[in-house]
Amino acid sequence: MTKIPFNKPSLVGRELQYVQEALAANQLAGDGTFTKRCNALIEDKTGGKRALLTHSCTAALEMAAILADLSPGDEVIMPSFTFTSTANAVVLRGATPVFVDIDPHTLNIDPAAVANALTTRTRAITAVHYAGVIAEMDPLIQMARDRNLLLVEDAAQAYGSTYRGRQAGSLGDIAAFSFHETKNIICGEGGAIVLNRPELTDRAEIVREKGTDRARFFRGEVDKYSWADMGSSFLPGELIAAFLLAQLENEDGIRKTRMDIWGTYDRAFRPLIEIGRIDGPHIPDHCTGNGHMYYILLRDLKERTAFIEYMKEEKIHALFHYVPLHSSPAGRKFGRVASLLPITDNISDRLVRLPAYLSLGDEIQRVIERALIFLR
């Protein structure tokens, strides 16, 4: 019996051809032809004003924190149910992440909890689009406008998803995407920052290029480049961009295949969800997902642990997800909670993610069959 991993990267188009072309062009450093082509595709897809490839979503979030001019004493409201990069970007600027609870249906940040957490120290809100389902953005947009706050989309998992007809990445002032090998669109490690405020784009280029105005120099706008602002090396190399371009060109097909996988899982588990044996993903009617993840919620931590062990014995790799940041050592040290987070605590104990990758094929039936044996 073959093992079914949680994730398996796939080639979907001209990845190897483009890598060979990048090698032949003798330009392996960042911001070459392939990087520019990726930027253009991301701008076209998201409708964002400006997209810039980064070496990771972490880098994009760190750029966002710099562009927000965060400093000690400032606060950024975010869900506790997220990856460490969301909070680390804030902590690295000396600011404080303020953790709030999530909606029990979408597992995204709860706008009511955000409203209750606002203080005079709040400088930004970060909305995480969990499992490729976009957070309830309209009330967050209104809050940000009313208080002149920066609104950041941590859209690591949400490339290609929509909210009320609008693409992920077009809803906040800044968005960050991930192209890590566990995501839908992949290049091993990689990411992008999308900027929707025109006044941020010039500075973003400088921050991304080690604090220099090198991009302006290459466009012939200045006769030499120099140190202009704080920054770091946030660029990916051209081999990464070449591989990524082929993935971006096939985004529609990737999303369709992953949504087919998502739908197969959901049809199998929906009867158990309807009788309350388990719970599962919920996509609001005004949203479309991208099939990034299918998860189920078991009764409690004990059952979740037993399920994962059982699936492991059946050679199927199913995984839990985030340990809530507010309960982690660094979260307690660097952040604060606005109030109790009962939904986050409950969900994190019960959630398990099932294998999902493009070449899963008929093996999905074995995953479903074994899971149903345990659940029934």
- Residue 171 CB neighbours (<10 A): 26
Cβ distance 156 to 137 under 8 Å? Answer: no
Phi-psi region of 61 (alpha: psi -120 to 50; beta: other; left: phi over 0): alpha
Q: Given this model, what pLDDT does residue 222 score?
A: 86
Q: Is the pLDDT of residue 215 over 90?
A: no
Please tell me the distance from the alpha carbon of residue 122 to that of residue 16, in angstroms, as a whole number.
46
* pLDDT digit string, tens, across residues 25-84: 998 998 999 999 999 999 999 999 999 999 999 999 999 999 999 999 999 999 999 999
Looking up tokens 């409203």, which residue turns up?
A: 115
CA distances to 41, 51, 306, 342 from 45, rounded to whole Å, are: 6, 10, 41, 37
Locate 274 and state its tokens: 């309807």
Q: Given this model, what pLDDT does residue 214 score?
A: 86
- The alpha carbon torsion through 199, 204, 207, 211 (nearest 10 deg) reads -60
Average pLDDT over residues 191-212: 96
Q: Given this model, what pLDDT does residue 38 score?
A: 98
Q: Is the pLDDT of residue 346 over 90?
A: yes
Q: Is the pLDDT of residue 367 over 90?
A: yes
* pLDDT digit string, tens, across residues 134-175: 999 999 999 999 999 999 999 999 999 999 999 999 999 999
Q: Given this model, what pLDDT does residue 217 score?
A: 81
Q: Given this model, what pLDDT does residue 1 score?
A: 83
The band of 185, judged by pLDDT with boundaries at 50, 70 and 90, is very high
What is the model's pTM? 0.97
* pLDDT digit string, tens, across residues 12-27: 999 999 999 999 999 8
- Residue 274 CB neighbours (<10 A): 9
CA distances to 85, 317, 318, 360, 366 from 5, rounded to whole Å, are: 25, 5, 8, 9, 12
CA distances to 21, 97, 284, 336 from 161, rounded to whole Å, are: 31, 26, 12, 31
Cβ distance 42 to 177 under 8 Å? Answer: yes
Average pLDDT over residues 273-278: 98
* pLDDT digit string, tens, across residues 233-252: 999 999 999 999 999 999 99
The band of 216, judged by pLDDT with boundaries at 50, 70 and 90, is confident
Domains of the chain with bracketed CATH: 15-250 (3.40.640.10), 252-375 (3.90.1150.10)
Average pLDDT over residues 181-200: 97
Q: Given this model, what pLDDT does residue 348 score?
A: 98
Non-local (6+) Cβ contacts of 166 within 8 A are 47
Q: Given this model, what pLDDT does residue 101 score?
A: 98
Q: Considering the chain, what is the average pLDDT of its residues?
A: 97
